[in-house]
Chain A
Amino acid sequence: MDFDLMITSFPKLLGATVVTLKLLSASLFFGLFLGLFFAILRLNKNIFINKFAYGYSYIFRGTPLLVQIFIIYFGLGQIEYLRTTFLWVILKEPYWCAIIAFTLNTGAYTSEILRSAFQTIKPGIIEAGKSLGISNKIIFYKIQIPIAIRQSLPAYGNEIILMMKGTSLASTVTLMDLTGVAKYIISTTFKPIEVFIVAGGIYLFMTFIIHNVIKYLEKKYSFQQ
Chain B
Amino acid sequence: MELLTFGKTGWGDELFYATLMTIAVSITAMLVGFFFALIFTPLKLSKYKTLNLVGNFYTTVIRGVPELLVIYLFFFGGSGAIMYVASIFGYYEYIEINAFITGSMAIGIISGAYSTEVFRGAIQSIDKGQFEAAKVLGINKFGQFYKIILPQMLRLAIPNLSNVWQITLKDTSLISVTGLVEIMRQSYIAAGSTRDPLFFYSFAAVLYLLLTYVSMKLINKLEVRYSRGY
Contacts and interface: CB of A to CB of B under 8 A. Distances in A.
B80 A71 contact: no
Contacts of B129: none
Interface stretch (A2-10, A90-98, A118-126, A199-207): A199-207
Interface string A69-81: 0110011101100
B6 interface: no
A196 B205 contact: no
A183 B201 CA distance: 24
B209 A172 contact: no
B64 A204 contact: yes
Most chain A CB inside 10 Å of its own CB: which residue of B64, B173, B177: B64
A70 B176 CA distance: 12
Interface string B151-186: 000000000000000100011011011000000100
Nearest to B176: A66
A204 B58 CA distance: 12
A171 B76 contact: no
B65 A165 contact: yes
B64 A64 contact: no
Contact of B173 (A66, A167, A179, A200): A66
B68 A179 contact: yes
A64 B67 contact: no
B170 A64 contact: yes
Contact of A196 (B60, B69, B80): B69
Nearest to B69: A179
Contact of B197 (A65, A74, A192, A207): A74
Interface string B175-204: 011000000100110010001111001101
A183 B61 contact: no
Given A62-B212, A67-B204, A75-B197, A193 B173 contact: no
B20 interface: no
B184 A64 contact: yes
B35 interface: no
A193 B73 contact: yes
B77 A63 contact: no
A139 to B, nearest CB: 33
Interface string A26-46: 000000000000000000000
Nearest to B171: A64
A204 B201 contact: no
Contacts of A183: 72
A63 B205 contact: yes
A107 to B, nearest CB: 16
A67 B69 contact: no
Contacts of B213: 62
30 contacts: A62-B166, A62-B209, A63-B205, A64-B171, A64-B174, A67-B208, A70-B184, A70-B188, A70-B201, A71-B198, A71-B202, A75-B201, A78-B195, A78-B198, A79-B198, A164-B66, A165-B66, A168-B67, A171-B68, A172-B177, A179-B68, A182-B69, A182-B72, A190-B76, A192-B73, A192-B76, A193-B73, A193-B77, A204-B65, A207-B64
Interface of A: 58-59, 62-68, 70-71, 74-76, 78-79, 161, 164-169, 171-172, 179, 182-183, 186-187, 190, 192-193, 196, 199-200, 203-204, 207-208
Given A63-B212, A67-B173, A168-B66, 5 more contacts: A70-B201, A71-B198, A78-B195, A168-B67, A169-B68
Report, nearest first, the 3 A-B pairs whose CB atoms are least far apart: A168-B66, A75-B198, A192-B77
